[in-house]
Structure 1
Amino acid sequence: MHLRILHRTRYRYHGAIDMAQHMAHLRPLNTALQGVLSHELRIDPEPAARSETTDVFGNQRTFFSLQSNHSMLTVEADSIVQTQAPKPLPESQPWRSMTWERVREHFRYRARAPFDAASEFLFASPYVPRDDAFTAFARPVFKPGLPALEAARALMERIHTEFTYDSDSTEVNTPALEALAQRKGVCQDFAHIMLGCLRSLGLPARYVSGYLLTRPPPGKPRLIGVDASHAWVSLYVPLPVTTIKGAPAGAWFDFDPTNNRCGWGSPGEDYVTLALGRDFVDVSPMRGVIQSGARHTLAVAVTVAPPEEFEKLESA
């Protein structure tokens, strides 16, 4: 599937900004199921300095600075990616033998144990603390001896069933424990809650930011800018073998509690992976600092559609 993603971020400042520095995570990743065919990041006004780097999680990010007065900033990421359908969650050996308890024991500290890079996703992070409330919520579906993938799917289904999607119930910085208590939130909250549950049981899990192709209501045309960023969770399950170099082998499996979808490498062909991290703070699409006391208004518009639909919309 070919998808074009147009992500426009616009800041309007209530006064002139003298100097600003920003970091953007807006370039989709190349993965086993996704290839970036083109990407352009347009910034207005033109930055005085700009550089591209790769962060510790393998994400592509752009740093830029503005060193002259400006009252508005527009950042537009225009990408075309090719995605593939994910594999379903495996239900045969050796995956079934990897119970969630066995995965937990794999990551329990042992002297001279081989390093597993997934270990960094076991610990608390800025938006996802370790708390008994997460454990209490997860325990009913993490039954003894259950394969890790089945338990994670059951947790995803519980969040999907028992929580209400309500865009007015939380803010971008709402604590995950608050969203858990009120049983309301958005995709970011549901991802953080699932991360908290998995990590509280000793299972490594990471935050995935990206996009999801949505369909307009029957008989209604697609509109530019009405989509949004999306977020889900990826769980690492090791295999009871090692590679030739002695490192543990395993795979990441994606779970989307907002839409109750999961798969090996992606929840679906209609998903686009943008960045990976411990939680939202690692992969915020835009963040920065400004030299001024001016307040601002923020407008974000996202469109995800096949490239040919963009051509029809732009020519209409």
Structure 2
Amino acid sequence: MTDVKLAVHHVTEYTYEASVEWAYHAACLAPRHTPWQKVSDWRLNIDPLPDGWGVEGLELDTGELARHLRRDPWGNRHLSFGHARVHERLVVDSRFEAELSARPVPEPGRGQAWEAVAAGLRYRAGRALQEADEFALASNYAAPDETLRAYARRAFSPGRTLAAGGLSLMHQIHTDLRYLPQSTTVATRAADALALRSGVCQDFAHVFIAACRSLGLAARYVSGYLLTRPPEGVTKLVGADASHAWVELWCPEQGWLALDPTNAVPAGLDHVTLAWGRDYADVAPLRGVLRGGGVATLRVGVAVEPVQEV
């Protein structure tokens, strides 16, 4: 399939019932450049204008926005900003374009058995550290346990290749968990989502990651977006019109296998990558602390549409 170019528009709006006197926020909204994704024209508007920002609508290419960004250990760019002025509303508006190329399709018959991959990730004295190592360790939202291990073993039968097991687990989670908004919260952990047998894309991803880690495998959380309006005749994927999440499973022979358990498909030309980390906590799009405000009403809008070339 030929490359596609998508325009992404992500708006987050908080309306507070009382005045906010002081606030400090952290955002992970800077899209990544990857071998399969080229990003251009990223533009960020924040209203009210953060302290220390001299102009509205900062653009990365000008360098004005770049000086406010910091990189985390995984190469994601985070933005911190604050307000020392009284306000009753906060709007964060992010726009960019992404040109996507087809990723390699996971090959279930290629590679080592999953047990050999897990053994290779096991710590031993003198072994050089690998990129995948820390993604095999427990994290807040995706901690291994015996229930998750038993659940993972249904997909990763003895001697099965890691890629085949990962694809099987993706389909298993899609079948066993019901996509049900508001059945969980941003604080729900993998074990809880599995017990509930329901959740949203964040929960599907956490269950996959924690299940793999329970077997000693490495998997990471990917935040991003889905194409809002697919081509005519193509079914719209679950999770469009909002931020989305999927996973990447480390396979030594094939690299990071991008799998979307919410939709039971490998990530492809519908998936725009924003950031990746150990779990949601590392790449939350927007979080903050504030004084005042009372109860906040949140509205999030996402549009991902093909760019119409002139």
Q: How does 1:263-278 map to 2 (within 5 A)?
A: 267-278=267-278
In the TM superposition, 1:1-316 aligns within 5 A as 1-49=4-52, 51-91=68-108, 95-96=110-111, 98-215=112-229, 227-239=241-253, 251-262=255-266, 267-292=267-292, 294-308=294-308
- What percent of counterpart residues are identical? 43
The answer to whether the Cα contact below 8 Å between 1:27 and 1:79 also exists between their aligned partners in 2 is no
Rounded to whole Å, the distance in 1 between the matches of 2:304 and 2:97 is 10
Aligned counterparts of 1:107 and 1:118: Cα–Cα separation in 2: 8
Deviation above 3 Å: which 4+ runs of structure 1?
216-219
* Whole-Å separation in 2 of the counterparts to 1:234 and 1:11: 31
- Structure 2 counterpart of 1:301, one-letter code: G
Structure 2 CA distance for aligned equivalents of residues 106 and 49 of structure 1: 48
Task: Report if aligned partners of 1:126, 1:279 keep a CA contact under 8 Å in 2.
Answer: yes
Shift of 1:172: 1.7
Q: Hey, what's the Cα distance between the residues in 1 that align with 2:108 and 2:197?
A: 31
Deviations 1:258-283 (A, max 9, x none): 11111xxxx10111000101111111
Check whether the contact 1:44–1:75 (CA below 8 A) recurs between aligned residues: yes
Q: Secondary structure, in 3 states, of the residue corresponding to 2:292?
A: coil
In the aligned structure 1, how far is the partner of 2:224 from the partner of 2:230? 19
Please list the CA deviations of residues 203-228 of structure 1 after superposition, one character each: whole Å capped at 9, or x if unmatched. Answer: 01100000111337979xx9xxx801
Distance in 1, Cα, partners of 2:222 & 2:167: 16
Residue in 1 that maps onto 2:64: none
Q: CA deviation at 1:41?
A: 0.7
1:91 Cα deviation from its structure 2 partner: 4.9
2:147, 2:157 → 1: CA distance? 17
**Which has the higher mean CA deviation after the structures are superposed, 198-207 or 174-183?**
174-183
Once the 2 structures are TM-superposed, how far is the Cα of residue 302 of structure 1 from its aligned partner? 0.7
User: Aligned equivalents of 1:49 and 1:25: distance in 2?
Assistant: 19
TM-score normalised by L of structure 2: 0.88
Deviations 1:288-308 (A, max 9, x none): 111225221111111111133
| Alpha-carbon distance, 1:111 to partner | 1.2
Q: Is the 8 A contact 1:210 1:274 kept in 2?
A: yes
Letter of the structure 2 residue corresponding to residue 77 of structure 1 = S
Deviations 1:164-183 (A, max 9, x none): 11113212212221210121
The superposition leaves residues 228-260 of structure 1 with CA deviations (integer Å, 9 ceiling, x where unpaired) of 111011011224xxxxxxxxxx61111111111
| Structure 1, unaligned runs of 5 or more | 240-249, 312-316
Q: Give the RMSD, CA atoms, in angstroms.
A: 2.0
Per-residue deviation at 1:194? Answer: 0.3
**Unmatched 5+ residue regions in structure 2?**
54-67
1:115-157 residue CA offsets vs partner (Å, 9 max, x unmatched): 1121111111111122111011111221111110001101111
How many Å separate the matches in 2 of 1:44 and 1:218? 37
- Give, in angstroms, the shift of residue 189 of structure 1: 0.5
Which amino acid in structure 1 is aligned with residue 73 of structure 2?
A: V
1:39 Cα offset (Å):
0.2
Give the Cα–Cα distance (whole angstroms) in 2 for the partners of residues 160 and 65 of structure 1.
40
Contact 2:20 2:292 in 1 (8 A): yes
Residues of 1 paired with 2:155 and 2:43: CA distance? 44
Q: Are 2:5 and 2:98, in contact at CA under 8 Å, matched by a contact in 1?
A: yes
Question: d(CA) in 2 for partners of 1:293 and 1:86?
Answer: 44
